[in-house]
Chains A and B, each alone.
Chain A
Amino acid sequence: MSTQVYVAGVGSTKFGVLPGRTLQSLAVEAGRAALRDSNIAPARIGCVFVGNFVGGIMTGQELLGPIVAADLGLSNVAAIKIEAACASSSAAVRIGHDLVRAGAEDAVLVIGVERLTGAPRDALTTAMTAAIDQATEGQAGLTFPGFWGMVMARHTHLYGTTREQIAAVTVKNRQFGAINPLAQFQKPVALEEVIASPPISDPIRRYDCCPATDGAAALVLANESLVRQSGSPAVRIAASVLVNGPPRITDYAEITIHDGSVLAAKRAYETAGVGPDDIDLAELHDCFSIAEIVDSEDLGFFAKGEGGPAVVRTPSANSKVVINPSGGLLSKGHPTGATGCGQIYEVVMQLRGEHPNQIGKARLGLTHNGGGTAAAVTVHILEAVR
């Protein structure tokens, strides 16, 4: 017998350059905030899942599950780390969701955490490329800016997407980030600055890239009975989907269509009984500016090739969905292992009507989080409960 699953509480650190902070301290800060927000007694938490990508490589710290659980005062729980590259914590949400839905646990705590700043750029690039198949494409020197540079060049070639349309994604998300107190970048940027920024992996330029970020975000997931007892302002998880996509660029039939995103969205819409036109806001995995355009097409908000023109039209002219009102990865930042929980945090705050950048009254929100070459993809659909 299955039950409905709710996000009963959320917590987050600021995202940004946070010198002196450890993975543990960030995770504990976010975890404590989520527990407090949920109004659920810590003794009711059955499991702690910590989403993290490169903690071992960047800081030398592994075994985050038991360490973070102990520092939170949660003893006698099952606590483990989950890794799915940049989708680590949203993959952990899927696992926690399934345990609560199946009745195996009444409540679980899911935390995403990462520390990426302070290391030399080549060390960071090397850590990130751990999510590229090292036996093949890593050997060739492919990086993630390189992967998305190829996607951008081909999207431009096939659909006529312009440099200005792609740069407009960064401009839009910087404007949103400027009014999100948790965002790493809180200063708008001009279209000309994006286009004139230094090349990283042509045609990708610096301002097409999300920054390296430190941060943590946490969610308490709980069943209906516990949510009613706690009186917390819960948001229902209408769909929680995790699928695999091609793990190598050469596995793609067409690199401008990300099969994992298409499949995850299809399953999520079917599970929730809604379609893309019903979604009020979406937090998409805009690790690069072109990624938001590709994602918005793969998730059905726009037809393939229409994502570029849609960025520079007014929202009311093409779709009601507001994309990345948090500022997205481009502005809020991308602490890889924390990003998935951070996206859900943002949507929950919007659905509760409590976000500093409130878009208006929203009923349905969606998050899309991709790991590797969109090789591990999650889509969550969340519904306001009023």
Chain B
Amino acid sequence: MTLEGRVQSHTIIRVPDKAHAAAAPFVLVLVELTDGKRVLGHFNRAEPPAIGSRVTAEPSEQTPVFREEAT
């Protein structure tokens, strides 16, 4: 089932640990899902979404990648 929620906060990681060096810079988003759970995910753009905006992601065993919900 698709993950849906609102952005609680965000950051752009520019100084990563060794394991994420190749991916930097990348956006992390903290999302509160519609069921109240909170999830940390990546974002599919270089600039973070506004706090409060609606985002969705496909469920994943790895870190989910959120995108802004089409309006």
Q: Does B14 contact A202, Cβ atoms closer than 8 Å?
A: yes
Q: Does B16 contact A122, Cβ atoms closer than 8 Å?
A: yes
Q: Does B9 contact A122, Cβ atoms closer than 8 Å?
A: no
Q: Does B40 contact A201, Cβ atoms closer than 8 Å?
A: no
Q: Does A201 contact B14, Cβ atoms closer than 8 Å?
A: yes
Kindly list chain A residues whose C-beta atoms are within 8 Å of the C-beta of B42: 140-141
Q: A140-B28, A140-B41, A249-B30 are in contact. Are A126 and B11 (CB under 8 A)?
A: no
Q: Does B17 contact A126, Cβ atoms closer than 8 Å?
A: yes
Kindly list chain A residues whose C-beta atoms are within 8 Å of the C-beta of B23: 141
User: A125 CA to B17 CA in the complex, in Å?
Assistant: 5
Q: Does B18 contact A141, Cβ atoms closer than 8 Å?
A: no
Kindly list chain B residues whose C-beta atoms are within 8 Å of the C-beta of A138: 17
In the complex formed, the residue of A with least CB distance to B36 is: A253
Residue of B8, B11, B37, B62 touching A204 (CB-CB under 8 A): B11
Q: A137-B40, A140-B40, A140-B63 are in contact. Are A153 and B9 (CB under 8 A)?
A: yes
How far in angstroms is the closest Cβ of chain A from B39?
6
User: A136 CA to B61 CA in the complex, in Å?
Assistant: 10
Q: Does B19 contact A126, Cβ atoms closer than 8 Å?
A: yes
How far in angstroms is the closest Cβ of chain A from B33?
10
User: A125 CA to B15 CA in the complex, in Å?
Assistant: 8
User: A255 CA to B11 CA in the complex, in Å?
Assistant: 13
Residue among A143, A151, A204 with max Cβ neighbours from chain B (10 Å) = A143
Q: A143-B16, A157-B51, A250-B39 are in contact. Are A122 and B21 (CB under 8 A)?
A: yes
User: A145 CA to B63 CA in the complex, in Å?
Assistant: 19
Which residues from 52 to 92 on chain A have a C-beta closer than 8 Å to any C-beta of chain B?
Answer: none
Q: Does A200 contact B41, Cβ atoms closer than 8 Å?
A: no
In the complex formed, the residue of A with least CB distance to B39 is: A250
User: A203 CA to B13 CA in the complex, in Å?
Assistant: 10
User: A150 CA to B10 CA in the complex, in Å?
Assistant: 5
How far in angstroms is the closest Cβ of chain A from B21?
6
In the complex, whether A199 has a CB less than 8 A from a CB of chain B is: yes
In the complex, whether B45 has a CB less than 8 A from a CB of chain A is: no
Question: Contact flags (1/0) for A190-201 with B, using CB distance below 8 Å?
Answer: 000000000111
Q: Interface size bucket, A side?
A: 20 to 34
Q: Does A255 contact B28, Cβ atoms closer than 8 Å?
A: no
User: A141 CA to B19 CA in the complex, in Å?
Assistant: 8
Kindly list chain A residues whose C-beta atoms are within 8 Å of the C-beta of B26: 141
Kindly list chain A residues whose C-beta atoms are within 8 Å of the C-beta of B28: 140-142, 146, 150
Residue of A121, A125, A151, A251 touching B9 (CB-CB under 8 A): A151
In the complex, whether B12 has a CB less than 8 A from a CB of chain A is: yes
In the complex, whether A252 has a CB less than 8 A from a CB of chain B is: yes
In the complex, whether A117 has a CB less than 8 A from a CB of chain B is: no
Residue among B8, B39, B62 with max Cβ neighbours from chain A (10 Å) = B8
In the complex, whether A244 has a CB less than 8 A from a CB of chain B is: no
How far in angstroms is the closest Cβ of chain A from B10?
6
In the complex, whether A154 has a CB less than 8 A from a CB of chain B is: yes
Q: A150-B30, A255-B30 are in contact. Are A202 and B40 (CB under 8 A)?
A: no
In the complex formed, the residue of A with least CB distance to B29 is: A150
In the complex, whether A229 has a CB less than 8 A from a CB of chain B is: no
How far in angstroms is the closest Cβ of chain B from A244?
18
How far in angstroms is the closest Cβ of chain A from B9?
4
Residue of A154, A204, A252 touching B38 (CB-CB under 8 A): A252
User: A136 CA to B39 CA in the complex, in Å?
Assistant: 10
How far in angstroms is the closest Cβ of chain B from A149?
3
12 A-B residue contacts at CB 8 Å? Answer: A122-B16, A123-B18, A137-B40, A138-B17, A145-B15, A149-B11, A149-B12, A199-B14, A202-B11, A249-B40, A250-B38, A250-B39
